[in-house]
Each structure stands twice: as structure tokens, then as C-alpha cells.
Structure 1
């Protein structure tokens, strides 16, 4: 994993990415900028076109780590751009879009032509857009739209920019300031280097907000007052000791918690090392934990947040803990992280956490810490599902009789 810093839509971004992650996946998965579309993923169709240092580039064949220090503009970053606004209106007027899948990349490329071409020459426009494929329109409306914008701007005495926004000859992005070769080698060190990954995560001093790919809601109850539970949740080390597979790797504080969680699912073993920040609100006894982590062996990464609220029950003698768990998982483990399975595993994990929490609040020691074993969780899950299947089968059989 590598920590990269770049500017996306005029906003400074710092995030962890695998060396093999392309720029399209980076802006879509890490930054939730899904206006950048993926089509062929071979740099042919142009649906993924973005601006890299002001120049159109195929983001599906551009590595994110190669964009260190660059300025990236996606279609979302052109909302207030004057040329793009004119093009959007012209695309609508000339019926230049149907399904719209190619449109973001088409607009980015068309904007470059509007800036550079001295006149609305149809052949030059068709050549300039030849790297953006559309399976719907036949291109006639698209070409007319671009022509109309060029003609209107030239009629208003807006001169063309022969180089567009290009600052230097050479490959896209070659004009930006880069670090030394040694620094570059360090940035794109192999993902198998645990030390590099740890250093990258350790350098994170802010946890950007994100939109979780999945959100789970759970709740459990403990026979202790909300005040006791809230005080317990303020002891980070104590909470970690109640969570199966979790451990702290440095002295914790609310602004920065360094730790790891070990997971084993049959032959798959993973250790997610990461960082978290803890937020608490004593007024309504709620809190939030947000963090990031990665596993070197499976080359998987995750971002997540846990929101909790303590609700008094039994006249304040007991507490119901309402949880909202949001997460995004990428890499090999994402292939086995089916939402239904994750939901059931989370329920079993929370049940173990609740039991350990109750033991600690009662003055007894939690169960001995162990890896989060998927086999023990899955066995219970399978038993529950088999029971449900037999129940459904029996009910259908009785109904048929």
C-alpha cells in the first residue's frame, strides 16, 4: 500500500492505495466520484476520461500512485466550468446523448476541443473525439453540439488556446513537479512490504469522510445503566479487550487509536492493521468510531465507521445499545464479503462483544482474547440457516397436504 497526495477537484486528498489501483477506481471507490465511468478498462472507449493537470487522460490505464502531486479534475469538478456548462446545454439542445454512459468522458474531451480548435471544423472535431466511443447516438448530434459551442465562443471573440491547458510537451501529467527518484520508489514500493504500509498509515493525521458501500444496523442490551456503559466506552483499551481478535499496538487516545484485528475464515487469514478516531457526545450518550485499515497478505483494505447510541431501558437499570456499522472493503476479501454473510457474521461478533462487555461491567474478566474465527461463526450461521430451510420446507409440505 502507498500513501498518495494529490488534488482532486481543487480539494487536497490524502489516501492509501495499492500500487496497481488505477485512477478511475481510486476516484470512484475512495472519493465516491462516480461520474467517472468505466467501460472497456483498456483505454479505448474514453468513458473514463478525466483531466490530469488540465489535459484529458484515460483514468482506467493511469495508476493512481503515478498521479502523486497532480491536479485531477473529474466531471463533478466541472460543474461550475463555463465551457462545460455551454456544452451541457448544447448536448441537450442537439440531442447529443441517449443512455448517457459515455457523456462524462465525452464532455471532458469536447471541452478540450472547444478550448483549442480555432474554428468549428467537423473533421477536426470527429478526429478529436475519435477516442470517445458512443453506441447510441451515431455522433451527429455530438458533433453539432461541439460545433455550436465553438462557433458561439468565437463569435464572442473568445480566442482559442492552441495548447489548451497543456503546460509542456510530452505525456499527460509530465509537466507537474515530481519528487526525486528515491522518493518515487518509496511511494510505489510493493504492497507486500509491511513496514512501508505501516509507515503510510502512521502518517495519516486525518480521516476523510466517506460513503460506506454497506451499512448494517444491530442492537444489543446489557444489564447495566447507560452511565456505566458510556463510561466503559470511554476506556479504549477495555473496549478493545472485549472485541474478539482486536489488539492495540500503541498507547491510545481519542484522536488516534492504532491497532489490529485478526480474522480467520477457513484457509484465509487476515490481520487488518489500522488507525481510528473516537468521538463521544455525553449529552445524548452517543459516539462514533471512524477508521481505516489494510491487510498485507490478502492486499485488502477497508474504511469503516461505527455509530452508537445508548438508550435506557428497564427504568434506567439496563441499556440498549443501538449500532450502525458502515464499511467499504476492497481487495481479495471483498470477493467473499457477501452482504448477507457479513451481516450474519457481524451479528455473531456483536453477540460475543456484548457478552464480554457484560462480564467486564460485572467485575469479571472477559473471555480470553482470540482471533475472530470465521469457522466458529460460520458453523453457527449454517446451523441457523439449515434450521430455517427445514422450517420453510416443512411449512410448504404441510400447506401442500
Structure 2
């Protein structure tokens, strides 16, 4: 896989296997051997470096997860003011012996110097608890860090709240500075791909075989022809879909936009484009789209096929759906089939209610559905209830 990094201020590109961790890329490909490998389990802290400005364990960080990130190793701190003061203090306070832990220790200590208001020994020991040393006994290390903090505060250099970080989440989960849009308007898929150096047409959305698929349906109190006409009005359809926003329509059957989904504290904004195919002869159609959540670097693609089936002597419609999707990236690790199905079921229910309101004239013109935010506890309880119901059925047998 192609990997683009900014390492110590220089743009770097490398081809790596998905299983390769960041430390190996730095040491074996870029000859930056100041990043030491100790336990290779993320315990000893010898491999600590700065990833998007925050300390991170490079031995348990997959390199491909850092695509587009800024990496700073100990070699990149040669001209750094705080690192220079720490090196002097470490030598003066006898804070190193064999030196194997020292690069990672300097990285963690620099973060403490940057953000601690006072040279509190307990706070320093807690901050360095993830960096192990088998030589010094830590006394000299703590003295050195305290000395640098005290000297800088006496010179009037204030602490930087949160070390300048304004967002929470795993290190490297935020888009790097060079990829952050300067406009407050939601970027189009073309803009996102252009930022990543990829030239594609938003109209070039090819059919694909989804990795997962399932069926769903809902009922609307309107005739099939009316529901099919609603599905042909893209703006109204987006207004009915929870969390969906259209940002551009480069062609009548192509749209660009975003979908916001939240499950408890987890949220994602998938920005992308879609193509809509419709068949008036049998009142069917499908939507094929792709999207990407920049924050988690998770990509998705898939399609939704629909067919309008008359019920109640044609006075109502059952909309039969066939949903297929593929998901790749960090969020794919938690998107289990049951969770996705329950999420889709809840979104579908809200979508059906909104369609019903529009078709029956009870929706106000300014009403816009809020992004679909699910109660995590309720969702887990639903999953557990469904699992227990299935287990009970199997135990009863035929």
C-alpha cells in the first residue's frame, strides 16, 4: 500500500505491507534509528515519537493508519528548543546511563514541559509512567524534567493547554494540517480526492460487489406511483433521510453530499457521491455511492435497491430494499453485522416516518431531520434481545 507521510518536516512516500508498524518503516526504510524498539508491545515506551504533535507508540501503530500524518522522531528535534533544554538537563542530572530509553523519554518529557503549569513531581511521574528505564531509578529523570519546567515558567513561558491539541481521539485520527480544508463549507468528494492527490470524476461511480448485504422493508401510506415520484425528487428524499445533506448536483442523476451517523459517543461524517438509477416501468431503482469519513479514515461503498409493491388495494406501498455495503478502515473493526443491521433498521424507520409525513402533507417546509444519533445502551439492549430470542428459538427446536 502507498503511504504518504511528513517525517521531520519532509514529505515522504513509501510502499508498505498493511501489517508493517510505523517503527519499522522509520528504522528500515528511512534509517531513522533513533526510534528504539524494546518490548514491541507498547509497554516500555522506547519507541515513542510524535504523531500529529502527540506522543505515540510507533511499535503498535500500523504505518498505513498514519497516511497523511506528520511524524516527528528524535532526529527531528535537533533544533527544538525544549528538546535542547531537556538534553542539557538530562546530562546535568545524570538522567541517563545506557541511553536506550532516552529518545522515547525525551519525547514524553517534552510533552510534559509543554503542557504542565507547574513542576509537580507526581504529575511528572504519572506522565512518564509509560516510559520504562532499567538503569537510573527515575530520580534524575524527574529532577531534569522539573528543572526545565521551572526554568521556562520563571522566564515567563506559559504552559500550552493540552499541548496545543484541540480534539480528542486516538493519536493520528485527525486529518493532518495540509489536508484540512480552509473553507467552512462542507468539501465535495472531488475536493477531498484532490486534497489526497487523486484525480477522479465524481460522475465515475462504478458498480461493485458489496462485501455484506441484507434485505429490509417499510410501509408508506401512499400509492406506489406517489412513493416512486418521491424517490425521484432528490432534495426531498435527502430531507427525509436522517443526517443526509446534499452539497452539489453535477448531473440530474448524480449527487454529492454527506451523511452523519452517531452511535452513542461515536460519530462519523461520510462525504462522497452517488449515482441514482430509476426504472419507471416496474417502479424500481437503486442508489450506488461511495464515501469517506476523514476523521477516522474509514471508507465505505455500497448500493441500495428498491421496489414499490402495492398493498391495501393500492392505497399503501411496501418499499422492499436490498442493501449492500463494504467498509474499510478503523470503524470497520466495530461495525459488526448485527450492529449495522440494527443501525439500518432504526434509520429506515425514521426515513419511512419522514416519507409518510411528506406524502401526506404533515411535514413543514422548513423541517429538516436531525442527524441520526442512537442511544448506545438501547442499541446494545436491542442486540442482546434479538440474540436471546434467536437462542430461545433454537433451543425450542422445530
TM-score, normalization by structure 1: 0.49
